[in-house]
Amino acid sequence: MLIYGAGGHAKVIISLLRNSGTSVKAIFDDDPAKRTFEEISVTGSYDPDLHVHETLILAIGDNAKRAQLAAKIVHRFENVFHYSSLIDRDVRFGLGNVILHCAVIQTDAIIGNHCIINTSAIIEHECKISDFVHIAPGSVLCGNVTVGECTLIGAGSVVVPNVVIGKNCLIGAGSVVTKNIPDGVIVRGNPARIITQTHYGKENLALATAYGRHGNDLHSAGI
């Protein structure tokens, strides 16, 4: 297998692959200062002509960066699963996903492409996870939750059933999301409230502002 990325997330993936008996043929990274990584030579920037029959995984934690890189890769992508993950047989996956230690994905969930389901994350039944999403360690998505493209669910967050979270959102660590979240906003707290917009959220200003007012009202009422 080929790895694109030579940072902390890549360390976890390489360890997973080694423990499963999968060899890493090459590591690509755009930083010219990186010569070796985890005792493997770093090839340099992506080379579409190297090991053309090998599959590749994007070992990049940043959602937007993974999305940018995926568009230029010609190698085939593959999913990577830690052996301790618990995945129902009816779960549907795209390609390029990383499912890490002790993650749980329940029946009829749909996982898109190039998602990270991190350590001990729980995705319950019928959840729909769009492309380039990161479900951080210890997060819990209750049943029938939808998460939009390039959104990060921060570590230890809880999303209650049937909530829809938009694309390009950042859910702060430890948040409890109790209602729908529009595209392109940063939320945090219990209950989660909009704090500001992400770089991608300018077109959603009115919606975000309305949500923020309602969230403040709920917070003032102690809900």
Which residues, in sequence order, are bridge partners of residue 117? 99, 135
Please give the Cα distance from 129 to 109 (Å, whole number). 8
- Six-digit token string for 61: 């934690």
| 82 part of the active site | no
Please give the single-letter amino acid code of residue 221. Answer: A
51, 114, 125, 214: the catalytic one is: 125
Task: Report which secondary-structure segment, H or E, holds 3.
Answer: strand 2-4
Task: Report which secondary-structure segment, H or E, holds 26.
Answer: strand 26-28
61 in a known ligand binding site: yes
134 in a known ligand binding site: yes
Please give the Cα distance from 194 to 29 (Å, whole number). 35
Please give the Cα distance from 202 to 216 (Å, whole number). 21
- Six-digit token string for 125: 């039944």
Residue numbering of the annotated binding site for acetyl-CoA? 134
Catalytic positions, written as ranges: 125
Residue numbering of the annotated binding site for substrate? 61
Residue numbering of the annotated binding site? 61, 134
